Amino acid sequence: MATRFGLCVFAVLVLIGCTQTKTAVVGTWLMTESSRKYVPAQLKGPTPKLVINSDGSFSASNLPGAFDGSFEIISNSGQGKWTRLTDEGRDELQLNFDGDYGTQVYVSNSWGGPTLFYFLDDPDEGLRIELKKP
């Protein structure tokens, strides 16, 4: 009986841990200190922030990246619309800034808690920018 109960508890925990709802990404996200080492020196100012709203809108301030299609890493601030999507089994947010540019950020729900992340350049280079809720 105790084994059956233990298996049920384990199954529930796995199901809870594996589900990511839309509301899990809503809120304010700040870049982690461990990501700061990847940000170019000229962009190391205020902590980058992303605010995801439940109505499908977002605002960003000082997010480092080449979101406008260029290869230059710049500080991106502005607002726009977001959508949730799955690409090759990965949970992502598509951020479409007002002004015809955007990017995708990955959604991870690991033991460290929910994390949004993206790469400054080629993912093989490992320049991973992580955002967490405060």
For the chain, give every domain's residue range. 21-132
Between 101 and 70, name the one with better pLDDT.
101
Residue with tokens 């996200």: 29
What is d(CA 4, CA 10) in angstroms, rounded to the nearest whole number?
10
Is the pLDDT at 81 greater than 80? The verdict is yes
CATH class name, domain 21-132: mainly beta
Cα dist. 42→45, 46, 65, 90 in Å?
8, 11, 13, 32
What is d(CA 131, CA 134) in angstroms, rounded to the nearest whole number?
9
Q: Please, which pLDDT band fits residue 21 given cuts at 50, 70 and 90?
A: very low
What pLDDT was estimated at residue 8?
A: 40
Mean pLDDT score, 77-105: 93
